[in-house]
Amino acid sequence: MDYDNTLLALYAAALVATVIVLSGLWALAGLFILVLMISLLQKLHLENRIDEEAAGRKKSMERVLEGVDAIAKRIEDARYDISKSFFAIESRVGEARSDSLNEIDMNYRDLARKIAELEARLDTAKRTYSAALASFDERIQAAEEE
């Protein structure tokens, strides 16, 4: 990282400047050097903690994304199953409707055939009754004429 290299160069320059300026006062120079070293170590430790925290959050986000993906997959599977079930139910309803219409059509044809047979029988009975009445009338007239 360019930022880290630049920061290390600035720390080194500050260290050299402190030694040069305070070369006559070694105790004060040592104290400034110690402060610079402590701040450098704190900076490195802080950057490591930030990287660890970022990695931890990234792992947490990946787990959350995996959970969301799993939920989305389950929802998609459920939607597919429901769609498949609706198609099966619609197919069954269509078959039942077709069967009912066929049965109604067969019943209608059977009823029409029975009505036609009944009309034929009534027509035959009417002709037979008319013939019987005519024959009966003829007998009555024949009996009256005698």
Question: How confident is the model over 88-137, as pLDDT tens digits?
Answer: 899 899 898 999 999 999 999 999 999 999 999 999 988 888 888 888 77
Domain layout of the chain by residue ranges: 2-145
d(CA 139, CA 146): 11
Cα–Cα distance list, 85 to 33, 73, 75, 92 (Å): 77, 18, 15, 10
Confidence (pLDDT) at 2: 62
Quick one: tokens of 14?
């500050």
Pick the range with the lowest mean pLDDT from 10-14, 68-72, 89-93, 111-115: 10-14
pLDDT at 12: 76
